[in-house]
Amino acid sequence: MSPEVVSRKGHSHVADWWSFGVLAFEMITGHLPFHGPNRKETMNMILKAKLAMPTYPSLEAQSLLRMLFKRNPANRLGAGPDGFRNIQSHSFFESIDWDKLYKKQIEPPFIPPIHSDFAHYFDKEFTCKTPTDSPGIPPSADAHDSFQGFSYIAPELINARQSDATYSSHVERRLRSIIGVKQTPFSDEYELKEALGHGKTSTCHRCIHRQTREEYAVKVIKDPSINDPSNEIELLFRYNQLTHIIRIRDAFYNSPTVYIVTELMRGGELFDKIRQEKSLSERESAKIMFVIIKTIEQLHRNSIVHRDLQPRNIMYVDTNRQPSSLRIVDLGFAKQQRAENGLLM
């Protein structure tokens, strides 16, 4: 979360560029820029702590990160009238030909030939060794697991919604009014398969379309009165044509359960890739950041603030995990700017 979100003084689309900075920092360094022992301390660090910048990133990378972590939104990179173009023109991206990259016209610097022996490119010094168990991991290595599937909703807000019959009926009216939401049984068209992931208010499953036998993912929300999904469904239908936003195929409201059917992310989360590789090269990070910048800029152009950019919400459609297959998958916290001053409260 950006400082202006933490302080609850109102925020604009510029809050997404802070989140983008956190994402870039994690890709380049392998860890978070602000991380305290608890939620309160983490928020205090976001508001007050000095950025602990490692020395090994290039000067251009350090400059990019520092400019994205300006606590005053007006001074943050991407805040001016040129918006994301200020980020594109930063020296960190000097070697990137944006047009050629977007058109997939840039050749990879190295394409290894495929070999039948999976260990062909490993030195015999290592392949001849007897396998041994890995040593114990440091306590910090699984710090992210504590927050897997975590989406915070204040308990008092949940209690208020559950006890307010008018809120539940309002959610139901909104869901029934959205063009594209079906009220026929989900099971008539899809077979529900194994769970892929769990969140606080929903579970994601693999599913199969009965007629075409195509595989999809489905987000199952058992109680929409806790966290109204109608805004997310509307945004997914409205911006289904955007290249790097997850594509919705169907939505069902079988009271009280909501089903949101989307394309299946076979390549997993960007978070998984970062953990497996410890950190990404600046070149690969730049290509990933380019895709995210273009996608966020398209959302901002439509007055939408994402508000929850993080590696777990960015996934790969294909198992090859190329930047071109990236998708932003969760619009649950996204909001359309509607206040007269252009801020979200």
- Torsion sign over Cα 170, 175, 179, 185: negative
| Segments in 30-72 forming alpha helices (H) | 39-48, 59-68
Q: Assess contact for 217 and 206: CB atoms under 8 A.
A: yes
What is the C-alpha separation between 228 and 224, in angstroms, rounded? Answer: 5
Q: 219 labelled as ligand-binding?
A: yes
Angle at 272 between CA 226 and CA 11, to 5 degrees: 50
H or E element at residue 198: strand 190-198
What is the C-alpha separation between 260 and 180, in angstroms, rounded? Answer: 11
H or E element at residue 211: none
What is the C-alpha separation between 104 and 325, in angstroms, rounded? Answer: 12
Q: Residues within the annotated binding site? A: 219
Q: Residues within the annotated binding site for ATP? A: 219
